[in-house]
Amino acid sequence: MKTPLALVACALVLGACATAQPTVYRPQANASDVGFTQYKMEDGRYRVTFRGGSGAPVGQVTDYALLRAAELALADGYSWFRVADRVTQSTGGGGGPTFSVGGGSGSYGRRSSVGLGVGTSFNLGPKPALSTTLEVVFGKGPRPPGEAYDAQSVVNTIGKGMGRI
């Protein structure tokens, strides 16, 4: 009885040691890193992706993508931007607990036996990582009505929340 209990305890301890990758605002070194990438499609139009760490909240991942879009707009001399397309994806991690039931029988000479087993498993690994990709269109002058963002306001608001300002 001690051995199965010790194995369960070891599995729980090792599962708790799995560290989540922190979400940091920086360029990605490669496709599996946390951070942002950008691709200039044409003048005034970019595709910006931010990939968060394991378990990063969707709001934070989206905010960081918006922040990068605002920084690009200001760097290119634009005052506002509009999100033309948005895709949020979840990668890695696993589902929740799984349960299984099994049965069997056997014959041993003159004796037969029937068995029933119940099992469960839990994913103790890291949570899924989220990424948000925005296709943004930049503009100059007064911000148009609707869903356009003032680039400087986004940098001030989200950047301040990150402690960057």
84-116 pLDDT, tens digit per residue, is 999 988 876 655 555 566 656 655 667 766 666
CB count in 10 Å sphere of residue 23: 20
Judge whether 58 lies within some domain.
yes
Judge whether 24 lies within some domain.
yes
Averaged confidence pLDDT in the chain: 78
Q: Residue 50's domain spans which residues? A: 19-94+127-161
Amino acid at 134: L
Least confident stretch, 51-55, 59-63, 73-77, 135-139: 51-55
Judge whether 150 lies within some domain.
yes
Do the Cβ atoms of 66 and 53 come closer than 8 Å? no
Position 53 pLDDT exceeds 90: no
Judge whether 90 lies within some domain.
yes
Judge whether 14 lies within some domain.
no
Judge whether 61 lies within some domain.
yes
Structure tokens of 4? 């199965």
Nearest residue to 99 via CA among 123, 118, 124: 118
Judge whether 38 lies within some domain.
yes
Position 3 pLDDT exceeds 80: no
